[in-house]
Amino acid sequence: MICRAGKEGDYARFADGLRRVAIDERTPVNGTLELTARCNLSCNHCYIVSRERAGDEERGELSRQEWEVIFGKLAEAGCLWLGLTGGEPMLRGDFLELYEKARKSGFLITVMTNGTLISNEVASLFSSLPPLAVEVTLYGATESAYQRVTGSAQACSAALEGVKRLLSHNIPTVLKMTVTRQNIEQVPAIRAIAKELDVPFRFDGLLSSALNGTRDALACRLGADELVSLEAIDPQVKRAWLKRQDHVTRYESGLLYDCGAGRNTFHVDWRGGLTPCIMVREPRFDILNGTFDAAWESEIATLAHKTMNTHSKCSNCSLIGFCDTCAGWGMMEAGDPEAPTEYLCEVARERSLRFGAELRQETR
C-alpha cells in the first residue's frame, strides 16, 4: 500500500507498528471486502469461482445499503484498512457509491482491479477521494496474451487505458501480474511498462486450487524452477527473500494462524460472511444480521488461538524461511490447515538452492 502523504517509509513503519499492536490486542484493523464474485474476464487460474459461472450469481450479492450497514459495523470494531476486491469490484453498478461511502467513513482503501472498467468518472472520484492505492493486475502487454489468459483480447487495451487514466489523475497505482504458463514470456514487457510509467511492479506465480474445489489453475502453474528463475532476476524479490532469513516468524509463535488471520485481519465475502481470511472461508458468520463482535469472539477467536501439531512436517522444516506455506494454502489444497503443499515444498527447495548460496556468501 502507498500513502499519498509523507514518505512511504514513514507510513510503512507506522502501519507495521500499528498492525503489531493490533495482533497483540486482537483488533481487526485490516480487512478485505469481496464486493462481488462476478468478473468480466474468464481466467483459467481464477480461485474465486469456477469457469462454469452461474449466470445469476449477482442475485445473492449484498445491496449497497447492506454493504453500508457492514461499513458501520467495521468502523465500530476498529477497522482502519480496507481492500475492495472481487471478482471485479467495478462490475457493480453501484461501485462508485460504495467507494465514496467507505472512503467518507474514514477507511484507508486499496482497490484491487483488472483495470478494464476504470472510466474517467472512476478516476475523477479517486482524485477527489484518494485511495491509498489502486492495484491493477495485468496479464500481458499484447492482445494474444490476454486472449490466452483471460479469454478477451480487447481487455489488453482496456486495462492499459485504465492505468493511464489513473495516472493522469495522479492516483497512486501499483501494477501487478499473475504469471502463468500462458503468459510467462510477458513479464519483461510488463516490468518495462511499469518502469516507463514510474510505478511499482510486482508479480505472483503461486496459483492455488479454486475455492469450490476445482483444480483448473494447477495446469497453469509455473514449474518451481521457472518461478524462482523469475524471482532471481528481480533484485527486489531476491533481497526480500535473503532479508527474510533473519526475520523468520512462521511457526515461532506455535500458532496455526500466525499470519494475522482472525487476529488483526479478516475477510467479508460477497454474501456478507465474515471469515478469517480470503483463503480460509470457514468458520463463516453472517455479520449483516448479527454483530461483528459476536462473530469475531466466537469460533474465529478459537481458531486464532489454535496451536500447531508439534509433529507437523512444516513446523520442523529447515526450509521454512524460503516457503510461502500457511494454513490457508493447506485448506485450499488439501482441506487441512496443517497439510504441506508439495508445490510450495518444491519452490522452497529451489529458492534454497538459488538464494541460499548467496546468503552463505554474504555471511562469510
**Domain spans, the chain:** 8-222+257-306
Question: Model confidence over 295-347: pLDDT tens digits?
Answer: 999 888 888 888 877 667 777 788 888 888 888 888 888 888 888 889 999 99
CA gap 230, 111 in Å, rounded: 26
Tens of pLDDT, residues 130-182: 999 999 999 999 999 999 999 999 999 999 999 999 999 999 999 999 999 99
pTM more than 0.85: yes
User: What is residue 217's predicted lDDT score, i.e. its pLDDT?
Assistant: 85
Q: In one letter, which amino acid is 177?
A: M
Residue 74: the pLDDT is: 96
Q: Are 113 and 135 in contact (CB under 8 A)?
A: yes
Asked whether 325 and 208 are in contact (CB, 8 A), the reply is no
In the structure grid, which three cell numbers stand for residue 317, read together? Answer: 522444516
Residue 18 is which amino acid?
L
User: 8-222+257-306 has which fold?
Assistant: TIM Barrel (3.20.20)
Lowest mean pLDDT segment, chosen from 57-61, 125-129, 213-217: 57-61
